[in-house]
Amino acid sequence: MSPISLKRKIGQLFIVATPLINEEKKLFETIKEYISLGVGGFMIGVGGKCNFVQTDGVTDIKKLKKFVLKLKKLDPTLFLAIDGEGGEIFNLFEKAARLKCAREYGLEFEKTGSVKRFEKDIDDYVSIMKECGINMNFAPVLGTAQKGYKGYLSEYGRSYSDTDETVKILSGIAVKTMQQNKIIAVGKHFPGYGSIDENPHQFLKSRKIRENYNMITSPFACAIQEHFIQGIMKGHVLSRIDGKIPATLSSETEKYLRKKLKFSGLSITDEIFMRALSKYYIDKGADDDGVKRIVQAAKCNDILLMSYPKQALDGKVKIGASRHDHFPRLHNAVYLAALKGDIPENKINDAYQKIIRHKRMLGLR
């Protein structure tokens, strides 16, 4: 068997949002280009929205299954991910599944002590994922909301609770259900968005960890050590672990995750074009083409999650349907950085081997 080229190994590090192209022939021309570079997987849509499998906001399950089947015929080894937290915002299966926002289940559990409805709804949701061929889910949220259920995660009910214990119990059920069904659960957003007030899609903020808070006993640690979660997504947030560099780009945060919390799965960036990272680079000579951030992210993550380039300040999509060169361009940037030694080749190899190991666990290899 011929050795895998460095370029194809680097391709495996990327999960890219399906292109914003409505015309099916052009859509698949771009997808085939990405696959020719060895892309590791696709995120189906962004958040709970996917323009080519939804009508009036409702997912056509038959259309989604057909689309996924076409992807698998092109490359049966792809990670196929969704941002499926549930509720109205982060739910590709809205109106096709009963899964509510996390807080509804947290409130029910704290009032009644019962998790039966949550177990049934998450099981139904996972069944739809399996039926459609999805094998990775960017959920559950492992952040604990501020006391009184305040802060950013309270805006859409994305956190199960303002108490760690409720978050641990319900997120554990979600992780177990997904992973028993060969769907990689990706807990997010390490080290947590629970204590920030403003949306990290728009603002880069420090995570104010409450006094004496112990990350070693947090829901993240519980998911890693008790439920053996296979993926952790890092957030665009400054923290006590690293107060200068956003967690997504921070080698110190990666080291903490591996050494302190003993995580051995896939570390994944949050979406690398989010405005928070653009703002981080404004005072550092900007990063309009994304090269600086992607090279730094490749040094301390296994998977690089990419949707669409955004303008530095207004957060709007910068490119139209006629141009989707962001993956080939940033794939090449990582390749050139690896050739120059800016990214150690053993880091690329380590990430690649972890990705292949997880794909084998899913039966994709």
Dist CA 267 CA 305 (whole Å):
11
- Which residue type does 253 have? T
Q: What's the pLDDT at 310?
A: 63
User: Cα separation of 300 and 309, whole Å?
Assistant: 21
Sequence-ordered strand ranges (E) for the chain: 14-17, 41-43, 54-55, 58-59, 79-82, 136-137, 184-190, 205-206, 231-234, 237-238, 266-268, 304-306
Contact 331, 14 (CB under 8 A): yes
Domain boundaries, the chain: 6-361
Tens digits of per-residue pLDDT, 102-148? 999 999 999 999 999 999 999 999 999 999 999 999 999 999 998 89
Quote the strand ranges of 125-274, DSSP E.
136-137, 184-190, 205-206, 231-234, 237-238, 266-268
| Best CA proximity match to 98, nearest among 134, 124, 136, 132 | 124
CA distance readout (Å), 20 to 33, 48, 58, 109, 325: 15, 14, 18, 39, 12
CA distances from 75 to 129, 179, 185, 304 (A): 19, 22, 21, 19
What's the pLDDT score for residue 181? Answer: 97
Give residue 313's pLDDT.
45
Q: Which pLDDT score is estimated for 243?
A: 86
Query: pLDDT tens string for the chain (365 positions)?
Result: 346 799 999 999 999 999 888 888 988 999 999 999 999 999 997 766 676 776 666 678 888 899 999 999 999 999 999 998 888 777 777 677 789 999 999 999 999 999 999 999 999 999 999 999 999 999 999 999 988 988 888 888 999 999 999 999 999 999 999 999 999 999 999 998 777 767 766 666 555 555 446 788 899 999 999 999 999 999 988 888 888 899 999 999 999 999 999 999 999 999 998 888 887 887 777 888 889 999 999 999 999 999 887 644 444 545 444 568 899 999 999 999 999 999 999 999 999 999 999 999 999 97
Q: What is the pLDDT of residues 179-223, one digit of tens each?
A: 999 999 999 999 987 777 677 666 665 555 554 467 888 999 999
pLDDT of residue 275: 80
Query: Is-contact 230 174, C-beta < 8 A?
Result: no
pLDDT at 103: 96
Q: In this structure, are strands 237-238 and 58-59 parallel, antiparallel, or unpaired? A: unpaired
Tell me: domain 6-361, CATH 3.20.20.300, correct? Answer: yes
Q: What is the pLDDT of residue 237?
A: 87
Rounded to a whole number, what is the distance in angstroms from the first to the last CA of the chain? 15
